[in-house]
Amino acid sequence: MTRLDFTPLFRSTIGFDRMMNALETSARTGDESYPLYNTEKVDENDYRITMEVPGFAESELSIEARDATVTIEGKPARDRHEGRTYLHQGIPARGFKRAFQLASHVRVSGASLANGLLHIDLVREVPEALKPRSIEIRNGSAQKQLAA
């Protein structure tokens, strides 16, 4: 895999460091395929990450939201396979750590585990000051009356 060098972009841009870091992170981890996951836009302001975590118990999973990143980590218990003899082990039992960069004003709103799938719900909450607003257009004659 060819490694991309984003150094020239860092030198010629200001204020885009979060985006550049996200590009660098995705280029670095782009070949990882475990665990499989989906990202979904549920509606205008709601998103969901669904990750397959077969065989993982809730106690073996952790989710951390820090700054603009959500990190999911799975650490199988050491005694998970104790006393078992597998003829074939096709279900991965290795640990993992996967991070997702979040856009501005996106936060984790909850998580659930069902049927071997970990669902992480995200919501975008744009502050009122940043939302579009309508500006009233006043009649020009009203301005003249105020000035007098």
Q: Indicate the pLDDT class of residue 133, thresholds 50, 70 and 90.
A: confident
Give the separation between CA 107 and CA 38, rounded to whole angstroms: 17
Give the separation between CA 19 and CA 103, rounded to whole angstroms: 9
Give the separation between CA 74 and CA 96, rounded to whole angstroms: 5
Percent residues over pLDDT 70 in the chain: 73
Go through the domains of the chain in sequence order and give each one's CATH number.
Answer: 1-31 (no CATH), 35-79+86-126 (2.60.40.790)
More confident position, 2 or 30: 2
pLDDT digits (tens, 9 = 90+) for 67-77: 889 999 999 88
pLDDT for res 140: 76
Q: How far apart are the first and last CA of the chain?
A: 73
pLDDT for res 31: 46
| Per-state percent for the chain, helix, strand, coil, to nearest 5 | 20, 30, 45
Give the separation between CA 72 and CA 99, rounded to whole angstroms: 6
pLDDT digits (tens, 9 = 90+) for 12-62: 666 666 666 666 666 655 446 789 999 999 999 999 999 999 889 999 999
Query: Is the confidence at residue 118, as pLDDT, over 50?
Result: yes
Q: What mean pLDDT value characterizes the chain?
A: 82
pLDDT for res 117: 96
